[in-house]
Amino acid sequence: MTRLTIRRYPDPALKTVAEAVADFGPALATLADDLYETMKAAPGVGITAPHCGIAKRLTVIELPELGGRRDYVNPEILWSSPEMITQTEGSVSMPGLTDEVTRPRAIRIRYQTLDGTVAEEDLENFAAICMQHEIDQLDGVFWIQKLSRLKRERLLKKWEKSAR
């Protein structure tokens, strides 16, 4: 496994809409392993290929409620609950900074496994929040775009100070 370089905000790669994965060969499994190692070192609980400058729709998430590491290829949200929850979020691309984001409490997703098998899954609470966060990133939406303008501006000032 290789540890990849994580792109830091405001790298343009974080605004890129990732391309659907079409090749389910061994290189995809290797990329997933590399993303996993990179995420663990960051540390984080989720990472996408675009976080490392690779415009592919692949995310790796590791949560106890999911039974550990899970790889999701081409994930898409099929349904979102009307019930909302607020959770602290952050990013491996903006380490050390977090804020509260409100999202649907439950979702149903369709995705593919590393071998191309299509699957659907219902996620709730923190797992649902993590998946929505990662799918946003695959769509070129960085998590701070979910904040109010005031909260986003405050967070960006902190980020600029920390970069000096």
Residue with tokens 């609980």: 45
- For residue 89, indicate whether it is catalytic: no
Q: Rounded to 5 degrees, what are φ and ψ at 70?
A: -135, 140
Catalytic residue among 62, 134, 153, 160: 134
Catalytic residues: 134
